[in-house]
Every structure is written in structure tokens, then in C-alpha cells.
A and B are shown apart, each in its own frame.
Chain A
């Protein structure tokens, strides 16, 4: 029988960020995780710290996203101090490249809405092709314009995952992997989790298991409306640095490879790639940067986003199971800093966090599930 202050179920970016935040507060934490072949959004994401356009018609989400991005330098410094791992945080601002006037108009409309929602405090620029080419060499003639905000950035998401593991280990977090939680019992003293022959006990429980939150929540009588949404990403061979800015479809990593993506597909739990979607992604990338046409793709993957019924995060302190929390989102990279430095103190009971109140489960009552990401 293992006993700690808190158990976090899920060893992805969300679970590990929270575990790290809790460890920073001196809590004793156990993370329970599945094995090598688990569905892992943390292994498949694009690495953007993205603000631009997020939270259109949902200002609290936009605000929460901005808060996290603002916290990222501090979060990065903590991780670096604990592990020595450079996760390659860069926040030079980002570009949404538009291939049609309609796309540009739509994007502009969103940004204008957000700027109004923030009383003008939402910087962005619209660039015509000539201005854009000065900022980003190699842009193709198919790009009719772009939106730029200085708020966006990117990071190496795999180095982030490794840094979180190393930092958690340094801070005494116990990571138990290769198991899946089969039952949760609540006693007066807290929770007991069953996984095969093993038992884990803790006063507090955080469900951060991505798509696993649905069955895990059900064990506590909660309906957690999360669904998979597939995104496919292509990666090219390494290139000399040519693109320092993140864009929504094309991002050059610190290793030199170029990530291209991504798609939004409701295909259930199928995380394979499909040549049709891959060819569309490739075509779009070549339109954005024609010289990429001669570059070789060396890897591709499908990964499943964890999408709630309205596309926004879920931060729930369970009513009927005091001490249990449910955390779900599809922006584990962007929100990692807020999860470690704001959400973890809230879970630990050390701080109130009004910004997350709109993201409880009650909002889904009577709502139809949608399949889009925001």
C-alpha cells in the first residue's frame, strides 16, 4: 500500500505539470501512469505556446491562456534550475498565415473581437505579403496575408515532457508507471485506487488522464465529457534555421526539423495517419513555403487531442467526492505554466483561483457535445 498526500492519475504534460506544481509546494505526490503504448497526446503535440485567436467568444479562456504564457518564463526558469534541461522556450510572437482573403477576414474578425474584449489590450498586426516577406523570407505567393501577435511562442514539447519527469523526480515525486487504474474507492480518510494487485492511497486525487478521465470520472460518479480528436503532424528532415517564428501550420524546431500540421478529425480512437490528410497538410505547407516542396518528410503521426464537449478545459473540484479534482485540456503545452503555478496551488488549497471558475463541469449540463477544437 502506497500512501502520499496526493495522487495524480496521468503522466502526460497536464498531469506532470500539476505534479510538479504540487511538489514545488512541498506536497508528497504520486503519479500513476500507463505503459509505453498508451495513447499520449503529450508525445504528439505541435509545441506552440499559442494565444492568437484562442478564446474567441470566450474571454475567460483567452485570459487564462494569456496568463499561462506570461507565466512561462518563470516556469521555464524553475524547470531549468531543477534539471538543467533547456526546453528551448522562445516567445518571438507568431504568425497565422492565410491562404485566402476569406481566411484573413475571418482571422481578423476574431482578433478584433478579442481586442475589444480586452479593452484594447490585445496587440496584433495585419501584414500584407510585402510586409510579411520582410519578416519571413521564403514565403510563397499563395499567402495573401498574415496576422501577427507578439504574444505567441513555442517550445520543444518532448524536451518539456522529459524536463517535467526529471524535475518531478528531483523534487521527490513518485512515478509509478505501467499500470492502469481499475477502481477508485472513497473513504473518510481519502481515496484508495486499485490497479491490478496494487493499492494507492491519498487524501487528494487529481484525474489528469486525458481521454482516460471519462472512465475514471465515471468511477466517482462524474460525467466527464471528453472525446478524442485526431491531429496529424508531419516532420521533415533537419534544415538550417530558416524560420524563427512559430506559425499555425509550419514550425521549425530547435533541432532543425520542420513540423507541419495539423488536422482536426473526429475519428474515434484511431491514431493512425491517413495519406489524404497528410497530402493536404503537405500541400498547404508547400503553399506557405514553396521551397519545402523539395524537402523530405521523415516522420508523420496521428495523435488524439483531448477535447471537452465545448472545446475548453475542465477544472473541477468534485462536489460529491471532496478532495477529488478533474483536469482536462487540449493545450497541455501552452497551459503548462498555469497548471504548475496557478492550478496546483488551487488544488493544494493554498490559493483561490477565480480565473478557472468558468471551467467547471456544471457548464455541460444539457449541452450537446461538439467535435471542434478552439
Chain B
């Protein structure tokens, strides 16, 4: 890490980041790939190079599919840097990060953000109790530590990941107390309009159906169309209460894994003040991008779920395309070659994206699990409830930055990652306007906490780059 300026900096070593790094490197670009984790793969292929046979068998083939790519990365010329916590990115493509507790800065001629998705918050009553975790957390524990539930476990919410985790637990011989599904079977028919489009992506759909069939064969208690979910417990989770089949249900469990889909991690692109739009189909903010993935900021691209949710395969393809566009921009390939090289990837992208509208519609999270009742906490860091937010709207707040100033909602260390979507939607509903009119938090660095000593040490680094906006005191 001696040269402070490189051709391309990629943030995030998941499917998009690795694919982009390999493609860019193949065309002669000097690539630095920064990743927060200790090994490449992102969350989807987390720890894939180290996982033991039994864990791989439990996790299935989609997980092991990441191994060749990870191995190729480690064998390539890409300067892969694990354990790098990026805390600031500038419009001039300077990436500030912490490595081994030390502050570093690198500048890229081009920048690719491939930071993937985060689980959508599911703010139901009791969701802050110990013993309530996300399904994603359950999967990370399986991938990174070979941990499976010890006692009774409930999986609740909706989305492919929830079914996948259930099947993985079955393979591991873990009994599931209940699968509490907020989606309904008849939803499929509501969305027949998208079926034709989805046929091209039949593999993805079959995957979902076969997961469900596996669960049914195993006799997992599957509650459908569950409503009014609520975790009960004093100092830890004890049971999940909900309505299903026309009556109130209560299932006892000490571990409750929630999931209702994923949303793009937009912290970096928001902090850069790139243009974003509200995506009503995916109920989240997405950065505005051209077909290569370039944002409204020249030289800054996004590939994968960090742009919009498309899944691992789409992410890998978008990574390839962004890398090709960047190679062209840096004059490593000419326009003709760009066209030729990108054509197969573009065709593949079409096939891979086909089923997405149907998946989005099928697993659309319920309004009641996104926009909770007054006494449910939405901001875990500052412990602000939905009712408090509504009260601030009554006082005259139009958007999340005003409610943040009035009540600290979104001011904690997570920087609004956990509450941002909820707060926008709560305000929108209360004002009876669209989330697009409400807007999102103004995200600022630090994107990750940094100690004051680490920050102070940046003064020495700064002199070696001529890149950041100068302080101009008159």
C-alpha cells in the first residue's frame, strides 16, 4: 500500500467486488480491493475458502459456488486488503480506512462501490430482546463459526433467505419450532402479470419452490399469512405471538430469527450525495446509475446489491460490466472491444434479472412490519419509538433529518442503518405522502466509528495526497 493513487479501488469483496476485480485486473488495471471481513466472499460466500466439509454440505451448492472465484482472486494480481474498515469516501475518490488500527488513505482513478445489501429492519414489538436475531445473522454464524441453534428456534418473516436457512438447518439436523411466514400462497396469483417475465428466470423460482417443498416434507410447522407478530419476554425472548389461520398463536422459543428481505447498503453513495431514487417495487432507496453502473458522480460506480437488490449472480455480472466500462475509461480497451466483451454479460444479466419482479412482489414485506405501532422501538441505538417520530411530525417535521434533530433518532453509532427505512416510511405514512417526498437521512462520515487518535493521525497522511478539498481560510 505504498502508492497512494491506483487505477481502481473496489470496496467490498463479495460477488460483485471479486468479479469486478478479476475482470479489471485481466485488462491490466492496478486494482485494490478493500474488504471489511477477514476473508473474501462477502456475506453470501462468507468464509467459503475455510469452511469445513460438513458446513459446506449443510450450506449447499450456491455457497460452494463461490469458492472458484475466491480462489481466483487470491491467485490474481489484485491487491486484496482484508480487515479494512472504510470510514470515509470523497467525491475525488479518496478512500479513508482503518487497517490494524491505523488510518490510511488511498485514491483511485476510478472507484467501484460493491458493499452489497443489509437485512431490512423488521421492527416488531420485542425485536430488541436478546435472543431475537436476524436470519442473516443465523446464516453468518453457520458460515463463519459452524454454529447452529441449540434449543427451539423460530424463523419469522418472509423472503427466500428465510426458507434457505430453514432448509440448511434441516440438513444440519436441527428441528425448527415454527416457520412463521408473513406471505401467502395465493400471492402468486395476484402477481400473474409478472409470470411471463419470470419464466426466463425459472431456475430462481424453482429454487424457491423446492425449498418450500423440502420444508413441507420435513414436517416443519409452517404458519402462513401471519399477522401482528410480537416477541414476548422479560430480559430475553421467550415466545413469538401472532395471528394465523384466523386465531391467535403463541410459539415458545428462546431464539427467534427475523427476516423480511434485504435492502441496498447505501451509506457510501448517500454520504457522497450521489442521486438516489425511491424504488417502490423494492421499498428502498437506490442510487441512480447508468447501464454500466456509474452513479451521478463521474468515476464512481456501484455494482451488485449495493445498487439494487438482484442477488449474487446479478451482482457478479454487474461487477464484470462495471469493470469493463472502467477499463475502457482508463483506455485499456477500446470501444469495439468493450462492446464485444460486454455483450455476453449483458445477455446474461437479462436472464438473471428476469425473475426479480416476481420475487419482489411475492416477498414484499408487510406494511405492519415496516411501519410499526407507536410503542415499538425503531431506532435501536437511541431507543426512539415509532410514536415519538409521529409526534415530531405533528410538531412540524417533514423529514428524517428534522426528526433526527428533534429526537436523536438515527444519531447513534449505526448511523441510521437500522432505522433509516422505517423512519422514512413512518413519516411518509403519517404525512400521507410518498417516501420519495420525505427523503432520507443526510449521511456523513464517519461511516464506521473511528477513534479521535486515529482521526488525528490522518494529518500526517493528508500531505501525501493532493486530493481532498482544501481548507480555505480567508
Contacts and interface: CB of A to CB of B under 8 A. Distances in A.
A178 interface: yes
A237 B407 CA distance: 16
Contact of B395 (A166, A274, A296, A301): A166
A195 interface: no
20 contacts: A11-B396, A36-B397, A36-B399, A37-B439, A158-B405, A165-B406, A236-B452, A265-B472, A270-B469, A272-B444, A273-B444, A275-B445, A275-B455, A275-B458, A275-B462, A278-B458, A282-B452, A296-B451, A298-B446, A299-B446
B396 A165 contact: yes
Binding site of B, secondary structure by majority: helix, strand, loop or mixed? loop
Interface of B: 88, 90, 96, 105, 273, 392, 395-402, 405-408, 411-413, 415, 438-439, 442, 444-446, 449-453, 455-459, 462, 468-474
Contacts of B438: 36
A263 interface: yes
A139 interface: no
Interface centre among A237, A264, A279, A285 (most CB of B within 10 A): A279
Contact of A298 (B96, B392, B413, B439): B413
Contact of A279 (B273, B401, B413, B459): B459
B406 A36 contact: no
B398 A177 contact: yes
A169 interface: yes
Interface in A157-182: 158, 161-162, 165-166, 169, 175, 177-178
A221 interface: no
B408 A273 contact: no
A260 B96 CA distance: 20
Contacts of A42: 405
B449 A265 contact: no
B88 to A, nearest CB: 6
A36 B401 contact: yes
B333 to A, nearest CB: 34
A297 B449 contact: yes
Interface centre among B406, B444, B450, B452 (most CB of A within 10 A): B452
A374 interface: no
Contact of A35 (B96, B399, B415): B399
B402 to A, nearest CB: 5
Contacts of A36: 397-402, 438-439
Contacts of B398: 35-36, 177-178
Given A166-B395, A177-B396, A298 B449 contact: yes
Contact of A295 (B444, B452, B468): B452
A13 to B, nearest CB: 11
Nearest to B400: A36
When A and B form their complex, which 10 residue pairs have the shortest distance between CB atoms, in order from nearest? A36-B399, A293-B453, A296-B449, A283-B456, A282-B455, A279-B458, A282-B456, A371-B474, A282-B452, A162-B406
A277 interface: yes
Contacts of B462: 275-276, 279
A101 interface: no
A264 B458 CA distance: 20
B60 to A, nearest CB: 38
Contact of B396 (A43, A175, A234): A175
A314 B469 CA distance: 32
Given A158-B406, A266-B473, A278 B396 contact: no
Interface string A278-302: 1110110110000011111111110
Contact of B471 (A162, A169, A260, A263): A263
A297 B96 CA distance: 15
B83 to A, nearest CB: 17
Contacts of B451: 293-297
B450 A296 contact: yes
Nearest to B94: A275
Nearest to A258: B452
Given A36-B399, A275-B462, A286-B453, 8 more contacts: A37-B401, A162-B405, A169-B396, A275-B105, A276-B459, A278-B445, A299-B415, A299-B446
